[in-house]
């Protein structure tokens, strides 16, 4: 069956469930672990489930269906899942709710085996390649009371037109590609998400146009390696169906930049090795593309980078940053860093600190190396002591925080364009929004500014947010 046909089939299951649960006021909860790609997958699960007639609740105790969408990038997600499963067991004993566990972790055999052995009450296990079949899996559970294990190991397909229920009505994410071919030696993603495959230009452009019509202002393009969009297809000699001139990541940025209504474009994550000049030029020339670029470093040491299979050196990374800074006015950078990769010496770790000092990132996402079963890193003999990893993590954190404080000072007295996102969580009398560089800004203002871009003068900084004052109400 082709993918289009399969989605049509699933719609029939959605209708069947609609019939079964009609007038029953069924509720569901969904817990998403991990990255924005998983958040986007959960929005698809919500879209399908809400179409069936379920309404969302935050408290699993009140739900008839509890879904967990898992992540396996680091070990702490596993601990969290097993903790949650303990809670869901008690809830199920009380109210007979259905428990469905899906996502990346379900592509790991040792995890599904553990769930089947130790948590046999789980009704549905589904993987990353079978998310679109959730209606069928759920129907079989409800109707036939079957335990379902719907996990396949494949390179993966692209499924279009899956229903979606978005979490936010100002900012939306759009997955442009799935999977990864890079096989960084620490990373589990290529094993659980399959091979790199890009969506057709037309499907992406149409989705963004639809979002613009619905009033969304900010779009984040998602993929494990966004700047190799369509690269694999070209290498395979596959004919690219161009749409509005889109045949690469750079041309995709340009086409989305032209879509009326969209004010901001972000993307995560690009890979430094694929950061070609056409992409740099597109960022520089497209006014809506935010000038905060996430550029994962992982390590600042050339030998460690080689062991990680990252395919760039410390110098190449720094040169790329220099080139980007020259070509893109007001560029800011964020990054991902792993400390304690196997074999990392004190001197090699110093190189990471050196790059952080030189680049002065706007934001650094710091991770302690976590062994992942099935990755080459896990088999490396020279694993670093937990104590050493933590020591290095704290050293890096200290440096990063001192840089953030210093960097925040630069904002004071400047005028920043802010996309107003809503009222502040901590103070309902204040509004909150973000700068182009994704910094949170809190300010006083009337609620009709929500979903508009306004100018704010930054008056103070508070480590994780800035305070601003309105100077003019201006929506472009
Ligand atoms: N251990 C620690 N961090 C990891 N990441 C990926 N795999 C691991 C791992 N095994 C980090 C990388 C990546 C981010 C999403 O998660 O920094 O960019
Ligand atoms: Fe993992 Fe590397 Fe692929 Fe990113 S590029 S998903 S870190 S293997």
Q: Does the structure show a pLDDT above 60 at 474?
A: no
Helix (H) or strand (E) holding 6: helix 3-21
Going by C-alpha positions, the residue among 252, 331, 325 that lies closest to residue 290 is 331
Answer whether residue 344 is part of any domain. Answer: no
Choice from 38, 272, 338 to test ligand 1 binding pocket (greatest atom count within 8 A of CB) = 338
Which range among 53-62, 141-150, 333-342, 391-400 shows the weakest confidence by mean pLDDT?
Answer: 141-150
Kindly state whether residues 468 and 439 are assigned to the same domain.
yes
Per-residue confidence band for 472, with pLDDT thresholds at 50, 70 and 90: low
% of the chain surpassing 90 pLDDT: 93
Q: What pLDDT is recorded for position 451? A: 95
Read off the DSSP letter of residue 244: T
Q: Does the structure show a pLDDT above 80 at 473?
A: no
Mean pLDDT of the region 113-120? 96
Within 6 Å (CB) of ligand 1, which residues are found?
73-74, 186-187, 296, 298, 336, 338, 367, 369-370, 372
Between the two ends of the chain, the Cα-to-Cα distance in Å is: 47
Domain that holds residue 35: 3-150
Question: Which of the ligands is closest to the CA of residue 308?
Answer: 2
Kindly state whether residues 130 and 180 are assigned to the same domain.
no
Q: What pLDDT is recorded for position 146? A: 84
Answer whether residue 63 is part of any domain. Answer: yes
Question: Which of the ligands is closest to the CA of residue 71?
Answer: 1
Kindly state whether residues 180 and 209 are assigned to the same domain.
yes
Answer whether residue 419 is part of any domain. Answer: yes
Other beta carbons less than 10 A from residue 53's beta carbon: 18
Question: Which of the ligands is closest to the CA of residue 338?
Answer: 1
Residue with tokens 């067991």: 89
Quote the CA–CA distance of 28 and 45 in Å, as a whole number: 11
Quote the CA–CA distance of 283 and 275 in Å, as a whole number: 11
pTM of the model: 0.94
Q: Does the structure show a pLDDT above 90 at 344?
A: yes
Kindly state whether residues 200 and 243 are assigned to the same domain.
yes
Kindly state whether residues 134 and 175 are assigned to the same domain.
no
User: How far is Cα of residue 134 from the mean position of the Cα atoms in its chain?
Assistant: 21
- Give buried/exposed letters for 122-158 (b at 16+ CB in 10 A, else e): bbbbbbbbbbbbbbbbbbbbbeeeeebbbbeeeebee
CA 417 / ligand 2 centre spacing (Å):
33
Per-residue confidence band for 459, with pLDDT thresholds at 50, 70 and 90: very high
Answer whether residue 385 is part of any domain. Answer: no
Q: What is the CATH number of the domain that holds 445?
A: 2.40.50.140
- What tens digit of pLDDT does each residue of 145-186 get? 889 999 998 888 899 999 999 999 999 999 999 999 999 999
Helix (H) or strand (E) holding 17: helix 3-21
Answer whether residue 333 is part of any domain. Answer: no
- What tens digit of pLDDT does each residue of 123-134 get? 999 999 999 999
Answer whether residue 245 is part of any domain. Answer: yes
Going by C-alpha positions, the residue among 89, 86, 92, 74 that lies closest to residue 33 is 74
CB 454 within 8 A of CB 421: no
Answer whether residue 408 is part of any domain. Answer: no
Read off the DSSP letter of residue 435: -
Q: Give the number of the atom of ligand 1 that is nearest the alpha carbon of residue 375.
A: 10
Q: Does the structure show a pLDDT above 90 at 463?
A: no
Domain C-terminal end among 240, 273, 290? 290
Mean pLDDT of the region 378-384? 98
Kindly state whether residues 19 and 146 are assigned to the same domain.
yes
* Domain count within the chain: 3
Answer whether residue 119 is part of any domain. Answer: yes
CA 189 / ligand 2 centre spacing (Å):
6
How far CA 215 is from CA of 170, 209, 260, 291, 420, in Å, comes to: 7, 10, 10, 22, 13
Segments of 193-280 assigned E as strands: 197-198, 218-222, 264-268
Verify whether ligand 2 is closer than 6 Å to residue 183 (CB atom). yes
Q: Give the number of the atom of ligand 2 that is nearest the alpha carbon of residue 73.
A: 1
Verify whether ligand 2 is closer than 6 Å to residue 185 (CB atom). no
Q: Whose CA is nearest to atom 6 of ligand 1?
A: 187
Q: What is the CATH number of the domain that holds 15?
A: 3.40.50.12160
CA 294 / ligand 2 centre spacing (Å):
14
Q: Taking each helix axis from N to C terminus, what angle separates 36-52 and 3-21, rounded to the nearest 10 degrees?
A: 50
Q: What pLDDT is recorded for position 116? A: 96
Mean pLDDT of the region 332-342? 98
Per-residue confidence band for 1, with pLDDT thresholds at 50, 70 and 90: confident
Kindly state whether residues 186 and 215 are assigned to the same domain.
yes
Q: Does the structure show a pLDDT above 80 at 448?
A: yes
Q: Does the structure show a pLDDT above 60 at 97?
A: yes
CA 74 / ligand 1 centre spacing (Å):
7
- Give buried/exposed letters for 171-188 (b at 16+ CB in 10 A, else e): bbbbbbbbbbbbebbbbb
Domain C-terminal end among 266, 290, 314? 290
β-pairing verdict for 431-434 and 332-339? unpaired
CA 227 / ligand 1 centre spacing (Å):
19
H helical segments located in 33-75 = 36-52
Q: Give the number of the atom of ligand 1 that is nearest the alpha carbon of residue 337.
A: 17
Q: What is the CATH number of the domain that holds 243?
A: 3.30.750.210
Q: What is the CA radius of gyration of the chain?
A: 23
Question: Which of the ligands is closest to the CA of residue 192?
Answer: 2
Kindly state whether residues 274 and 226 are assigned to the same domain.
yes
């Amino acid at each position: 069956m082709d993918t289009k046909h399969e989605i049509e089939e699933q719609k029939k299951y959605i209708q069947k469930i609609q019939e079964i649960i009609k007038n029953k006021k069924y509720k569901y909860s969904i817990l998403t672990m991990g990255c924005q790609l998983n958040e986007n997958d959960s929005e698809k699960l919500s879209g399908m489930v809400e179409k069936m007639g379920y309404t969302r609740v935050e408290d699993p105790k009140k739900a008839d269906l509890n879904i967990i969408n898992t992540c396996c990038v680091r070990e702490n997600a596993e601990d969290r899942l097993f903790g949650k499963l303990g809670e869901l067991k008690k809830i199920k004993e009380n109210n007979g709710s259905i428990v469905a566990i899906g996502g990346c972790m379900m592509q790991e055999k040792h995890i599904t085996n553990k769930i089947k052995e130790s948590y046999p009450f789980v009704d549905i296990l589904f993987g990353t390649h079978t998310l679109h079949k959730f209606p069928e899996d759920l129907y079989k559970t409800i109707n036939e009371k079957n335990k379902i294990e719907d996990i396949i190991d494949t390179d993966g397909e692209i499924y279009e037109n899956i229903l979606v229920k978005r979490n936010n009505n100002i900012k939306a994410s759009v997955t442009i590609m799935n999977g990864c071919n890079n096989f960084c030696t620490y990373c589990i993603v290529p094993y659980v998400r399959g091979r790199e495959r890009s969506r057709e230009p037309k499907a992406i452009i149409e989705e963004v146009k639809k979002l613009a019509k619905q009033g969304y202002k900010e779009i984040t393009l998602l993929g494990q390696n966004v700047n190799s969009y369509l690269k694999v297809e070209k290498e395979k000699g596959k004919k690219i169906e161009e749409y509005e001139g889109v045949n690469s990541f750079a041309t995709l940025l340009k086409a989305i930049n032209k879509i009326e209504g969209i004010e901001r474009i972000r993307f995560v994550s690009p890979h430094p090795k694929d950061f070609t000049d056409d992409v740099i030029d597109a960022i520089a020339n497209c006014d809506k593309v935010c000038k905060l670029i996430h550029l994962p470093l992982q390590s600042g040491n050339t030998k460690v980078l080689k062991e990680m299979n990252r395919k760039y050196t410390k110098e190449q990374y720094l040169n790329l940053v220099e080139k980007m800074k020259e070509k893109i006015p007001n560029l800011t950078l964020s990054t991902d860093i792993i400390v304690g990769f196997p074999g990392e010496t004190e001197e090699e770790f110093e190189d990471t600190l050196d790059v952080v000092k030189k680049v002065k990132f706007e934001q650094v996402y710091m991770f302690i190396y976590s062994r992942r079963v099935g990755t080459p890193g896990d088999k490396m003999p020279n694993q670093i002591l937990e104590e050493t990893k933590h020591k290095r993590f704290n050293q890096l954190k200290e440096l990063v925080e001192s840089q953030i404080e210093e960097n925040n000072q630069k904002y004071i007295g400047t005028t920043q364009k802010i996309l107003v996102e809503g009222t502040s969580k901590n103070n309902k009398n204040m509004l909150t929004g973000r700068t182009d560089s994704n910094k949170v800004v809190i300010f006083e203002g009337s609620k009709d500014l929500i979903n508009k871009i306004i100018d704010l003068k930054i008056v103070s900084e508070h480590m994780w947010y800035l305070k601003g004052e309105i100077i003019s109400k201006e929506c472009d």
